[in-house]
Chains A and B, each alone.
Chain A
């Protein structure tokens, strides 16, 4: 048997490839990035990093309308960016199968919110499958293409970060060719003018009704008998804390299914593979076979409210919090609180020793964002940030960011903040190259058009860094490896009407300070662009030499530690009650910023002293 240990995301890619997918488009976003990264490695698939999720969705949608099987993948916030085509494409339907992967982040490991993406199914009508492990990621993705073509509708496969980023064993299959279908020309199907979209809405309701019938009878809706043989007396009966036993039933899906199975292996489960539309008759039948019915679901009471609306008594959010990831221990503690006799979960156990110094992620040694961050902190500016690694400067020791909300927010928010009166010491928008190209351009155009005196810092590190180094239009190559023309950010800003454009080396601290002051002083929209690539991607900072501290000269002022560089640390030597500083030569990238901040001149390049 051909089995592999695969990430949920890798298994999605494999399933899509086996289903004959030919076009895949996405913007990188944790926890969905690895899907298209992996699809790009398969033969017979055109894969791209698009400029944003809406564009990616439309590329994939266009390919499906063009008659081939296509896929797009995004994180929760990306689904919000792509919501317009996502909702419209459900009306029109497709020609080749279209599969939309949305990966949510309960617990917010890296997302800005923990929105419950299952509601996209209800808003749009799009059918939604929810796998629980890598095998299901593979199988459900394959199935989603078939459903998409059968029911003439895009199909969403909704992942939770737990499902996307766990590895489990997958039995893989072979690729089945899906030759291009004749797209024809269908004005009444693809032009959403009112005269066409009204009948399309009616058709959508009919398609949803058919899909509900499918879900009712599908193997996706599966009863798993509890402890003891199926149907035997006492099957699924679990001991209660106060004595006695009860037949416990659990309705669940996705990642919550795994946590519930781990927490309460003896219960009888109704596992839902399709969560929109919901197989409500199957749920009613299941409810009739148990004494106490629970629904275990992450985030909102999405299933619970629909089950209650169908007149079925069910217990859910009363025991299982809507906050964060629903881990086995949290589900177990919920069942324990609900009165089940569960020694494994009876007491809360410590996961770790909280007294040990926390170690949050930091900007890498040699990160080109550090110079500007330190300079902005020095000038005490109000910073409206965006989504990228530079968000890490909102944490100590830099901690100077005022806002960092969503992709492209920085420039319009800075514009509004300026209209509100701005701040005494100055404020500016900070955005990375990839985010600027994703959704910063229109904000800058607006600020220029409205004649608002904004200052914008584009931290151009020439890569989409935070998600692991994906290409963007600033690069010389595409994901597929084709040579392409890198976009000129300064030229774009000039074309938008910006008159003050300053290009700065972020490893030159004084130059950073000077550029910020000049940009803020300029009467009119001003843009500052940094020009050093990410220290990790696509190539490491040149081994130009590392730096060292002369312990004799170090006066323990610790100015350098304000950089938050992981290569700088305390030594045991104390001077005037403060620790002196040392540099870890094995990790120093040689950016020289600490040497620039060192007043006594204790930090020098190794070999220069």
Chain B
């Protein structure tokens, strides 16, 4: 995990954006008397989180859980914007969540995504160039082939995961990959994990669990946010899905496995 370059004040997002580490520093959390959330968002740091997928996959619920977690923690500004238009018709969808002490715009500017959460591998590949060099991408192995693949000049990228891993590896080695895909890449089969805990429908919450290890919020806060966004009869399974994702997210270099 490298520290983000300190940019000149004028160039920084939301004023002076200081050096920022991707992911919560577990040591800071362990230190008594240090609020890990306050420490994480000090010096004008804004977390830019993008959730992408295909309409109907649950991107909007996942985004709501992430935003509500920051809201429930309190003392932070949260802004969110979503794909507009006919998003429930199987098209590409994305949600932007921005968290910080002060947040101005509700959408993330190109090339400034800190954390990319992709529900579908081709959508992950599509948005990878928007991730900052020391950002993190969490990509579900699911592949949804659009009907256009039958008539389009573009082929569906069945090799999306391999391409993402290659870019990430180049980034870590200090080379300049074709994608600014982010040095930290987590690949997981969220659908399989969701089925293990009970139902495919909770795959999105598995992915949220993997993301949660990068953010400074307490597990209890995440769980409260999940409770706000899922039906009570589904809560237990969603909490299990979250825990399963969180275990994966905690594994260093999980793309190697």
A residues with a Cβ closer than 8 A to B are 3, 5, 30-31, 105, 109-110, 133, 161-162, 165-169, 238-239, 258-259, 261-262, 265-266, 327-329, 332, 341-344, 348-353, 355-365, 389, 392, 396-397, 466, 468, 536, 558, 561, 563-566, 568-570, 586
Contacts and interface: CB of A to CB of B under 8 A. Distances in A.
A396 B148 CA distance: 7
A31 B104 contact: no
Task: Point out which of A3, A362, A563 has the most chain B C-beta atoms below 10 A from its C-beta.
Answer: A362
A265 B146 contact: no
B106 A328 contact: no
Nearest to B153: A357
Contacts of B130: 349-352
Contact of A392 (B87, B89, B105, B151): B89
B145 A569 contact: yes
A396 B81 CA distance: 28
A133 B156 CA distance: 38
B84 interface: yes
Contacts of A365: 90
19 contacts: A5-B67, A5-B80, A31-B84, A133-B79, A165-B82, A238-B10, A258-B104, A258-B105, A259-B105, A355-B154, A356-B157, A357-B148, A360-B92, A361-B55, A362-B147, A364-B89, A396-B152, A561-B150, A570-B156
A352 B148 contact: no
Given A5-B67, A359-B91, 13 more contacts: A162-B81, A165-B84, A167-B78, A168-B77, A168-B80, A265-B15, A329-B109, A359-B146, A362-B146, A364-B90, A365-B90, A397-B148, A569-B150
A533 to B, nearest CB: 16
A110 B86 contact: yes
Nearest to A163: B106
B155 A357 contact: yes
B7 A392 contact: no
Nearest to A110: B85
A4 to B, nearest CB: 8
Given A5-B67, A363-B89, A389-B86, A167 B80 contact: yes
B10 to A, nearest CB: 6
Contacts of B82: 165
A483 to B, nearest CB: 27
Given A5-B78, A328-B109, A109 B125 contact: no
B129 interface: yes
Interface string B80-115: 111011111111100000000000111101111000
Interface string B1-34: 0000001101111110000000000000000000
B145 A169 contact: no
B91 A344 contact: no
Contacts of B54: 359
The interface residues of chain A, by DSSP majority, are classed as loop
A357 B104 contact: no
Nearest to B80: A167
Contact of B81 (A167, A261, A397, A570): A167
Nearest to B112: A349
Interface string B115-140: 00000001101111110000000000
Contacts of B125: 353, 356
Contacts of A358: 92, 146, 148, 152, 154
B47 interface: no
A239 B8 CA distance: 12
Nearest to A259: B105
B10 A239 contact: yes
B200 interface: yes
| Contact count band on B | 35 or more
Nearest to A341: B10
Given A351-B129, A353-B128, A266 B10 contact: yes
Contacts of A350: 110-111, 129-130, 180
Contacts of A332: 109
Nearest to B92: A359
Contacts of A357: 122, 146, 148-149, 152, 154-157
A120 to B, nearest CB: 22
A361 B87 CA distance: 7
A359 B53 CA distance: 10
Contacts of B127: 351-353
A192 B129 CA distance: 59
Given A360-B91, A362-B89, A169 B10 contact: no
A342 B10 contact: yes
B122 A356 contact: yes
B73 to A, nearest CB: 12
A565 B10 contact: no
A142 to B, nearest CB: 22
Nearest to A360: B91
Contact of B105 (A110, A328, A344, A570): A328
Contact of B89 (A352, A361, A586): A361
Contacts of B147: 362, 397, 561, 563-566, 568-569
A355 B126 CA distance: 8
Contacts of A362: 89-91, 146-148
Contacts of A341: 10
Given A344-B7, A353-B126, A166 B104 contact: no
A344 B13 CA distance: 8
Nearest to B160: A356
For the complex of A and B, list the 5 residue pairs with the smallest distance between their C-beta atoms, beginning with the closest: A349-B111, A361-B89, A361-B91, A109-B84, A166-B106
Given A356-B157, A362-B91, A561 B151 contact: yes
A570 B150 contact: yes
Contacts of A165: 81-82, 84
Given A238-B10, A357-B122, A396 B86 contact: no
B71 interface: yes
